[in-house]
Amino acid sequence: MAKEQLQVLNALDVAKTQWYHFTAILISGMGFFTDAYDLFCISLVTKLLGRIYYHVDGSSKPGTLPPNVAAAVNGVALCGTLAGQLFFGWLGDYLGRKRVYGMTLLLMVMCSIASGLSFGSSPKTVMATLCFFRFWLGFGIGGDYPLSATIMSEYSNKKTRGAFIAAVFAMQGFGILGGGMVAIVVSAIFGAKYDAPSYMVDPLGSTVPQADYVWRIILMFGALPAALTYYWRMKMPETARYTALVAKNAGKASIDMSKVLQIEIEEEEDKVESLEQDQANSFRLFSKEFLHRHGLHLLGTASTWFLLDITYYSQNLFQKDIFSAIGWLPPAKSMSAIEELYKIAKAQTLIALCGTVPGYWFTVALIDRMGRFSIQLMGFSLMTVFMLALAIPYSHWTLPENHIGFVIMYALTFFFANFGPNSTTFVVPAEIFPARLRSTCHGISAACGKAGAIIGAFGFLYAAQNQDKSKTDAGYPAGIGMKNSLIVLSVINCFGVLFTFLVPESKGKSLEEMSRENEEVEIQANRIESV
């Protein structure tokens, strides 16, 4: 038996698309632009860091980061993100979305800038400083996941809610693209001003001293878009669903949304009193009632995000290694340090432009027509197909005449990751849980995703090494090779297909209908007891 919904919540559900929707997308989306820029730009500069700080005199190959350092540099921000998703997800339900939203952004701005600074000049101190600030950068980024998704879902109407939440997440694609473009511009400027020979010609001279500024500028640039949106984040009112359903102040929710929607909304004092006395939906996260209602849903959102991110981050963070393995990038010793950065950035930007960014916006366009379940199932399935198509005839793709074909197939795996589970795993947890637990449950799901990303980042680094020990990167043991690594990733995608069946479809339904907050559970229970 459904309760009569508060007018303010109903007004949000049926509201036509208005300017405030696009403002919310932009304000929340710029946070995700920064998130993606900061998380993925590190993959552009790791080879440059190796050349600058780990050069070995007399070596036939340019310096590379030692395995433990490379794993730390690539993975430490992901560890911080996992912790931030859990902490800020809980805090967003405890203190309110708006109060916490500014904290995450300030942390991101400060730590983006600090990531480019060093307390000392030795390799150890530079890497320690970088890892320290990238952990806290990740902590701030982690908070942006549950808060941005929850805020956008609670502001949206039920007809186009999926597209609005997906549009916020789609800014991640522009962040990845932006990182590549900034790296291209910075490396081109420094390369033109400070000409350097290849490593083969002059091992020491191939890395000019000014290259140390290049990676710092690229990392620090991530603070700019976040800083530009801080004022507007602070101007956003608290979401009506938090104010009414969690803070139990439907009167204030009505006043706030009357200003936003520019319509008159009744304060409904009688329903306010009813909400304050209602115990029917007061169960907490660790309760039998939550387990009964949403236990499988949480397992579904957490497991699919976990499986996706193993694949997604191993591909994204180590594109440069995959490109080198198939010969799309020239041998490192044939380039100078800045030239190598330029070519890595150009390759990753091409993949982002052709596969990553379009995939996100296909989701935005079709999610409220096709539904979340269909897009996620399709994405996992086609990622499996394309990865197997890359892995099984792997030797075929390593031939120079087949490099373009490899890049096309590789871009398609990104396209269907983003027009698929990478978008839907972000959208669904913001729609199916009760308002008082929504941010927490999204944070738990996202944290499971980052656990998968950490496995992908650390595991792929070792697994993708050549099976011949003499052909591995310096300091690494023999791995299972690129071909077998791609096969393992395709199997992981198959499990993603299976766990998708635990995730409910939320297309066209209100948040209260999905979370069952509009059911009179207490009345029904009393009726059963009286029979």
Q: Which residues contact 56 (CB under 8 A, 6 or more apart)?
A: 63, 474
The CATH number fitting domain 7-266+286-529, selected from 1.20.1250.20, 1.10.3720.10, 2.40.50.140, 3.40.50.720: 1.20.1250.20
**Listed ranges 183-197, 269-283, 503-517; the one with the highest mean pLDDT:** 183-197
Asked if 148 and 426 count as a contact pair (C-beta separation under 8 A), the reply is: no
Distance CA 356, CA 72 (A): 26
**Listed ranges 74-83, 266-275, 425-434; the one with the highest mean pLDDT:** 425-434
The per-residue pLDDT for 526 is: 42
Q: What mean pLDDT comes out for the span 359-370?
A: 94
Select the more confidently predicted residue: 281 or 435. Answer: 435
The per-residue pLDDT for 520 is: 45
110 has pLDDT over 60 = yes
Q: What mean pLDDT comes out for the span 339-366?
A: 88
318 has pLDDT over 70 = no
pLDDT band, very low/low/confident/very high, at 301 (cuts 50, 70, 90): very high
Nearest 5°: the CA angle 13, 170, 19 is: 45
DSSP bridge pairs for 2: 519
Residue carrying structure tokens 């050549």: 466
Q: What mean pLDDT comes out for the span 280-295?
A: 83
Distance CA 327, CA 115 (A): 32
pLDDT band, very low/low/confident/very high, at 310 (cuts 50, 70, 90): very high
Nearest 5°: the CA angle 484, 488, 491 is: 140
381 has pLDDT over 70 = yes
208 has pLDDT over 80 = yes
Select the more confidently predicted residue: 510 or 468. Answer: 510
Distance CA 204, CA 119 (A): 24
DSSP for 11-75, please give it: HHHHPPP-HHHHHHHHHHHHHHHHHHHHHHTHHHHHHHHHHHH---TT-SS-----HHHHHHHHH
- Is 404 buried (19+), middle (13-18) or exposed (0-12) by CB count in 10 A? exposed
Tell me the CA distances in angstroms from 174 to 353, 370, 376, 495, one per residue in order: 9, 24, 21, 29
pLDDT in tens, 479-489: 777 788 888 89
The per-residue pLDDT of the chain, averaged, comes to: 86
The per-residue pLDDT for 518 is: 67
Q: What mean pLDDT comes out for the span 35-46?
A: 86
Q: Which of 420, 430, 413 is nearest to 367 (CA)?
A: 420
Asked if 181 and 33 count as a contact pair (C-beta separation under 8 A), the reply is: no
Handedness of CA 466, 468, 474, 479 (dihedral sign): positive
Q: How far apart are the first and last CA of the chain?
A: 17
246 has pLDDT over 80 = yes
What is the SS3 string spanning 206-218? CCCCCHHHHHHHH
pLDDT in tens, 4-36: 667 788 888 888 888 888 888 988 888 889 888
pLDDT band, very low/low/confident/very high, at 125 (cuts 50, 70, 90): very high
- Residue 2's φ and ψ, nearest 5 degrees, are -90, 140
pLDDT band, very low/low/confident/very high, at 1 (cuts 50, 70, 90): very low
Distance CA 506, CA 513 (A): 9
Q: Which of 61, 42, 37, 57 is nearest to 473 (CA)?
A: 61
Q: Which of 157, 150, 152 is nearest to 10 (CA)?
A: 157
pLDDT band, very low/low/confident/very high, at 426 (cuts 50, 70, 90): very high
136 has pLDDT over 60 = yes
DSSP for 239-267, please give it: PHHIIIIIS--HHHHHHHHHHHHTS----
pLDDT in tens, 445-475: 999 999 999 888 777 767 767 777 776 666 6
pLDDT in tens, 179-197: 999 999 999 999 999 999 9
Select the more confidently predicted residue: 245 or 52. Answer: 52
Q: Which residues contact 201 (CB under 8 A, 6 or more apart)?
A: none
Count, residues in the chain: 531
92 has pLDDT over 90 = yes
Asked if 312 and 318 count as a contact pair (C-beta separation under 8 A), the reply is: no
Tell me the CA distances in angstroms from 513 to 4, 188, 251, 313, 422, one per residue in order: 12, 53, 22, 34, 25
Structure tokens at 10: 């109903």
Going from N- to C-terminal start, the domains of the chain cover 7-266+286-529
Three-class SS of residue 395?
Answer: helix
Quote the distance between the C-alpha of residue 88 and its chain's center: 15
The per-residue pLDDT for 529 is: 43
Q: Tell me, what DSSP letter sits at residue 221?
A: T
